[in-house]
Structure formats: structure tokens, C-alpha cells
Structure 1
Amino acid sequence: MPETEWAGQVAVVTGAGGAMGQALVAQLTAKGVKVAGLDRAESLKDADGFLAVPTDVGSAEAVRDAYATVDRELGPVSLLVNFAAMNSSPESVLDMQPDEWTRVLDVNLNGTFWNCQEALRRMMPARKGSIVNISSLNGFMGRRQFPTHAYAVSKSAVIGLTTTLASEVGKHGVRVNCVAPGLHKSPMAFAVAGSETATDEFFAGARESTPLDRVADAAEMAGPVMFLLSEASGYMTGQLLVSDGGRSTWYV
């Protein structure tokens, strides 16, 4: 997309306070996009080109209210990226508690849907828009060491949601795609590892099974998302773009 085509657009980025969200917001605002960040993080503050909208994306009502705020402060959304997510405990299926299962799906799957629904209510009448949902390798690959069942199910469902939305809204000029990041350095990964200082051991197995022989920085995930938001991918919809250093293609 030429630089002039970014200017004046309005983007909603959920999970804007996370590592991937922050990297994407920086790239969008640098191009002149007005960005609303939907996040529960109290540390998120308004900045040049950025509007912080405290939101629990797991609540349909809260998401609806957030988009009313975006309409009023920035205008109708034309770009949406759904980063907001939470992990689930790496426990046996026998130990998974109903409250945790429900909460993870509320945030990761239902929150993605509520945001897509509200964005599409603005994009479809305007006959333009691009949505990028965020899945994970865990959405289509099992993880023996950390069987985070609720997280994996939610991320698998995000892929299905992406394809079914794309099939409905393409004729209205709106594209819906999905990025599946591989393991990358982020607070979520550090939490699973136990601490940031434990990541060398935690990431060792990932490096051994990754052709690029390294673990990504969260900021590296902004590039694939920017591509899918832009007109450079203008004939792509319903697609899953995997950014994992080749891990999902390598048999070890």
C-alpha cells in the first residue's frame, strides 16, 4: 500500500498493550493511521495518533461500547487486528476447570468475534476494510510439553472463524485473513516458562525444531500483519499466514 493510502485510515488493535500489539501500533501510527487500542491494561495511555480504550474484549457489551467511542473520537474503523488473548494452564485435560475454559474462549474466540462483528458493521456499508485475526501454531499443532487445551481450541476456532467470515463479506469489499505466529519472546511465553530468566532452557527445544534456529522477537510479527492489512495483499482473503521460522514445516 502506498504511504498515502494509509493516511486517514482508522484501525482498531485489540491487545494493544502486548508485545505484538505495541509493535504494530508503532508501525501504523508512523504511517498516519489513527489507532484505537482496546486492552484491559491500565498502563495504556493516549498518545499521538493513538487512543487508549479500556475494554474487556470478552464482553460483547464492552466491545460495542468501545466501538461507539472509536466512532465518536476517530471515525469508523477500516482496519482491525485481533491480538487480545490469554493462555490457559498447562494442565491435563482431567484438571481443566470450567471457569478457566470458559474465560479463555470468551477472550480468545468470542472477543475476536465481537470485534469482527462490530468492525464489519462499519466496513460492509463502506465497502472497504481489512481484518487480521491472530491464531497460533497451537491452533493446528499439538504441544506435548505444555498441553494448553483451551488456548489451542480457541486458536483453532479463530482460523475457522476467519475463513467463514471471509466467505460472507468478500462481496462487500472486505478482506479477512489470519496470522499464526510461532513461539516468540513475549510475556505470555515467559509466564509459561516460569520467568524471563528461564527462557534459554524453555526456548531450546523450539530452536532445535525451527529451521531458522532461533526464536522470534514479538516485533517481527508486525510485518506479516501489515502485509495482510495492506493493498499488497489485495487479492488475499480467508488465508492463514504462518510466521514460525519454518517450524510447522519441519519434521524432527
Structure 2
Amino acid sequence: MYLEMFKLSGRTALVTGGGRGIGLACVEALSEAGAKVVIADFDAGVAEEGRAAMKAKGYDPEVVLMDVTNPTRVTEVADDLARKHGKIDILVNNAGIARSETPAETVTDEHWLNVIDVNLNGTFWCCRAFGKHMLAAKSGAIVNIGSMSGFIVNKPQEQSYYNASKAAVHHLTKSLAAEWGARGVRVNAVAPTYIATPLNEFVKSNPKMYDAWIGGTPMGRLGEVEEIASVVLFLASDAASLMTGSIVLADGGYTCW
């Protein structure tokens, strides 16, 4: 009974920023559970690399080019996929940027607006466009990728704009969950710690930052992309059928201290 609740056979899912990193791990997790998955990315090369990696593992995801900051394109993709597949069952809003290590007093308008546009606006445009189809079907699961930075202020890097954007994603998640819960659509989020990706490799040669990141984590390590994708799979599946408006911390204990 219980393992059956994790299966996604016959369901269609879209993952934004799905060409690499956490997004690609989510594509693999959902595919392994039986879903038909669509990789959405604004970079055609990254999207195709991700698709090739999945094909090598026996999966065959679709690819669509989509910039989450373009609401017209987001709506177009949602409408096209709904027509093609009949409905969209799962949306994973993974696309995001950080642009860390800029003190608040020197943040330019472009910097602030860019991070908010991708992380918050992009998440909302996708929730709105795909959520309409889910509401029409009276069924759907949305999983947003937030961050522990929506709960705490990271150190030593300055990133007020990123922290604010992720805190907003968390509250957007709760707000949509409250609006849509009685209409068959669940909206949850995952709040990861620092994850072992190529972008974070530099921390190993930066003692001050390494101590703040790893020394401040009870589990004493970075997270792995698979550890976030597994939480996404849970929230997207019927195993989490009673959960909506939840922000699931997957932080190795970082926020405990």
C-alpha cells in the first residue's frame, strides 16, 4: 500500500531549471517513479545535456525552452502542454539564482530586480499558469524550491536580496495552499541547505566560509542533489496527500543552531 503511494505512473510533471543540479535530480526522481517529465530551461544547451543524461539512464524527458521571468511564455508553455497531455499533474519550481556576496548598500537596482524576478516572480508566473489547469482538473501538486535562507540570514556572505526572495517564496507557498487546498491543488516547498554542486566547490578552499557553512551544520557536510529530489518526490506524490502549505527543511540541522 505505502510504496504504491509514491508511484507517479500516468502523471505529467514539469521541472523548471531542470537541465542540471537539483532540477535534473528532480527530473530523474519523478521519472523513476513513473511520471512523464518535461525539462523546462531557458538555456537550450543545458536542457539538451540534461535530456541526454536522462536518456543514458533509460528515461526520455521532453524539453521546452522557457524563461520563467517571461509570463507570456510561461502561460504559452502551460497551455501547450495541457493540450498535448490533457493535464499537468506536477509542477516543480526549481529555477533560481543567488548572485551572493554583495552588501545591501551596494546592491544595484538591476541586481535586486533580477534576483526577485527569477526567484519570486518566476515562481508565481509558473504557479499561476500551471495552477489554472490544475484547478480546472481539480487535481495537482506544486513543489517550490525555497531555501533555509528564507528562515535564517546566511553568513558570512551578504545576500539580503536572495534571502528576501526565498522567504517570499515560502509565504507565497502558504498563501496559494490556503487558496487552492479545497479545490484539489496542493502547494508545498522544500528549503534546502547548501548543496554539493559545482558552484559550491569553492567553499572547500575558503576556510572562513567553510567553517560558517559546514561548521555551522550539525551533520557537518553539504547536502546532495538526490537528497532534495527525494523530498520533492515525496511532496509530489500521494504519500504527501495530507500536506499543503508545508515548508520542509532539508538542511542537515543548520537552522537548529
Percent of matched pairs sharing the same residue: 34
Aligned to 2:29: 27
Letter paired with 1:97: T
Deviation per CA, 1:50-104: give whole Å up to 9, x if none: 1111111011012112223323443421101111001124111111011111111
Aligned to 1:15: 17
Q: Specify the SS of the correspondent of 2:99.
A: coil
Deviation at 1:32, TM superposition (A): 2.0
Aligned to 1:133: 144
Letter paired with 2:231: P
Mapped to 2, the partners of 1:200 and 1:227 lie a distance apart of 35
Structure 2, unaligned runs of 5 or more: none
Aligned to 1:84: 95
Letter paired with 1:245: G
Mapped to 2, the partners of 1:97 and 1:41 lie a distance apart of 25
Q: CA RMSD in A?
A: 1.9
Would you say the 8 A contact 1:12–1:81 is kept in 2? yes
1:107 partnered with 2:107: no
Q: Specify the SS of the correspondent of 1:189.
A: helix
Letter paired with 1:30: E
Letter paired with 2:232: V
Q: 1:212 to 1:149 in 2, by over 3 A?
A: same
Would you say the 8 A contact 2:5–2:237 is kept in 1? no
Mapped to 1, the partners of 2:189 and 2:168 lie a distance apart of 11
Aligned to 2:200: 189
Residue 146 of structure 1: which of 141, 147, 157 is its match? 157
Aligned length: 246
Q: 1:61 to 1:116 in 2, by over 3 A?
A: same
Aligned to 2:245: 238
Deviation per CA, 1:108-147: give whole Å up to 9, x if none: 0010001111111111121111111111111121123111
Structure 1, unaligned runs of 5 or more: none
- TM-score, scaled to structure 1: 0.91
Residue 210 of structure 2: which of 203, 211, 236 is its match? 203
- TM-score, scaled to structure 2: 0.89
Mapped to 2, the partners of 1:244 and 1:235 lie a distance apart of 23
Which range is displaced more, 160-169 or 59-68?
A: 59-68
Q: 1:4 to 1:145 in 2, by over 3 A?
A: closer
Deviation at 1:219, TM superposition (A): 1.9
Would you say the 8 A contact 2:174–2:188 is kept in 1? yes
Deviation at 1:35, TM superposition (A): 0.9
Aligned to 2:72: 61
Q: Specify the SS of the correspondent of 1:37.
A: strand
Q: 1:230 to 1:206 in 2, by over 3 A?
A: same
Which range is displaced more, 118-127 or 165-174?
A: 118-127
Q: Specify the SS of the correspondent of 2:38.
A: strand
